[in-house]
Structure 1
Amino acid sequence: MVAVVLALLPRAASAQDPGAGPNAHHEAARIIAAELAMQDASTRLEALAAEKPSGLAESVRHELAVSAATYRFRQAARLEELRVYELGGYASVESAVVPLLPSGMRGSLHDSISALHSLFILAGIDEYYLVNVHFTHAYFDAAPLSSLRSFYLEAQRRYGVDASYLASINFIESNFGRVNGPSTAGAMGPMQFLPGTWNNYGQGGNVMDPHDSILAAARYL
């Protein structure tokens, strides 16, 4: 895949209309590079998880190595997310970038951009390039993806609310639990419940707990 990245890089810089969208080859190269960085970081973390450090010095070294690999993964994920938002603003660039990517990446990228467009439309935005995204929340504040998925599916089984709908609400309300409030209206938790509504649907759970909050949202709906 490294060869693909190098092949996508432009041979020379050229002037570009500031009103035009981003360069397709640049975007594809950056997306692939971010994917490679995440794969490398994941491999490193798996190897570190299998290690059993002995002694204080080895434990400190191991902890620092885990922190470094975790940071590299988060940084690459943030860079790829930025590229997805960038492409989400320019349909013509998206259509030019997707064919430049390895086949295994095309479907997920297209799905991510389509999901963004759906969210923009729900917010009343039909000119996607006007969206100005701010990356201000820590990546590690959300529950693990596997846990969130299991909570959505449990709520779907128990209350008949589609898991994707619950995931969308979780994203819109709190960025998957990264911004748990209180809001200006006093709403709290991953699904942003007002105190009175939580009393009615929380069934004695913890409003800040993603499992309790997601199930309560399904009950409410």
Structure 2
Amino acid sequence: MPIVADDATALLDQLVTAERAVRDPAVTGAELAFMAHLQQLVYRRLIERPDLRDGVFSAIPQDLRGAADLNIAAGADLYLFGPGGARELPAWRIVSAPPMSALLADYREAEAAFGVPWYYLAAVNLVETRMGRIRGDSYAGAQGPMQFMPKTWDMYGEGDINDAHDAILAAGRYLSAAGAPDKIEKAIWMYNHDNEYVDAVMKYAAVMRADPSAFRGYYGWQVYFVTTSGTFLLPVGWSKD
């Protein structure tokens, strides 16, 4: 597991190293997974320690500045959106994400079928379940990798609510019916009635729209859960049972 620095100079070095690595097609396998996790943890540190941001952002390379700004802002949105006051860990099971190539093919299939750009579907998948790693119902009762309420699934889903391909196609179908792509923000708000959620999805999507290789980093982000006792990593294989 990556060890995140606690000073601005070292954090800057870690951020630049991770951002470059996740965009480099020569970086694969365990190295890519490590760098993606490092990227995620550096952004978490910068969100939790705003006193370090100026020292990092004053020296970050210009070509990475836009993505870094969006990632910080999206992460801050999710801190406001998430159930940070939970007293105990959720009744989830953490599984491996589907292969990166399979997810990208599913997003592209949904884009071709329903006109919803793939990066919005990827951003929803990231925010909802970390690309399908979370198995279990939300507090509201939503299910599957794209977190559909059962009644909504009955209207827009085909197949298995827990299957990545079926769920991503259903998300494209739903977002299209809700106004995407022309009214994409409205459609995402219909997907989840929370302004911070919408902002986060839009920002992560903007990063991938500007540079599709950014998906390689997001694919490797892990499941963390915030409770009143602290923040916990829920690794693949974890279960509350």
TM-score category, normalised to shorter length:
0.5 to 0.7
TM (normalized to structure 1)? Answer: 0.56
The equivalent residue for 1:173 is 128
Kindly provide the amino acid, as one letter, of the partner of residue 160 in structure 2: N
Where 1:72 maps in the other structure, the secondary structure is helix
Taking structure 1 as reference, are residues 29 and 139 closer, same or farther at Cα in structure 2, changes over 3 Å only? farther
Residues 113, 92 of structure 1: alpha-carbon distance in 2 compared, 3 angstrom cutoff = same
Partner Cα distance (2:118, 2:58) in 1: 30
**Distance change (3 Å), C-alpha of 1:77 and 1:172:** closer
Say if 2:97 and 2:131, in contact at 8 Å, map to a contact too.
no
The 5-angstrom pairing of residues 1-221 of structure 1 reads: 22-38=6-22, 42-43=25-26, 69-123=28-82, 140-141=97-98, 143-144=100-101, 146-147=104-105, 150=108, 153=111, 157=115, 169-182=124-137, 187-202=142-157, 204-207=158-161, 208=163, 209=165, 210-218=167-175, 219=177, 221=190
Residue identity opposite 2:108 in structure 1 = S
Distance in 2 (CA, whole Å) between partners of 1:165 and 1:107 is: 18
Q: In terms of Rg, which structure is larger?
A: 1
Identity of aligned residues (%): 25
Return the alpha-carbon distance in structure 1 between the equivalents of residues 144 and 152 of structure 2.
12
Contact 1:170-1:191 within 8 A present in 2 as well: yes
Q: RCO greater where, 1 or 2, for CA within 8 Å and sep 6 or more?
A: 2
Q: Summarize the Cα distance change of 1:26–1:153 in structure 2 as closer, same or farther, 3 Å threshold.
A: same
Any unmatched runs of 5+ in structure 1? 1-20, 45-68, 126-135
CA offsets 1:87-124 (integer angstroms, 9 cap, x no match): 11222311220122222112111110011112223348
Letter in 1 for 2:36: A
Give aligned pairs, total: 162
Gap regions ≥5 residues in structure 2: 85-92, 179-189, 191-241
Moved over 6 A (4+): 162-165
- What is aligned with 2:200? none
Shift of 1:174: 1.6
- Closer, same or farther: CA 155–28 of 1 in aligned 2, 3 Å: farther
Structure 1's 173 and 37: CA in aligned 2 closer, same or farther, altered over 3 A?
closer
Report the CA distance shift for 1:199/1:78 in structure 2 as closer, same or farther (over 3 A).
Answer: same
Structure 2 CA distance for partners of 1:122 and 1:195, relative to 1, 3 Å: closer
The 3 A distance-change label for structure 1 pair 175 and 75 is same
Residues 36-65 of structure 1: per-residue CA shift (max 9 Å, x gap): 54466x326xxxxxxxxxxxxxxxxxxxxx
> What is the DSSP-based 3-state SS (H/G/I as helix, E as strand, rest coil) of the residue aligned with 1:141?
coil
More helix by share: 1
Partners of 1:183 and 1:142 lie apart in 2 by 24
Instruction: Name the Cα RMSD after superposition.
Output: 3.7
More strand by share: 2
Q: What is the deviation of 1:75?
A: 0.6
For the structure 1 residues 155 and 177, does the alpha-carbon distance in structure 2 shift closer, same or farther, using more than 3 Å as the test? farther
Shift of 1:176: 2.5
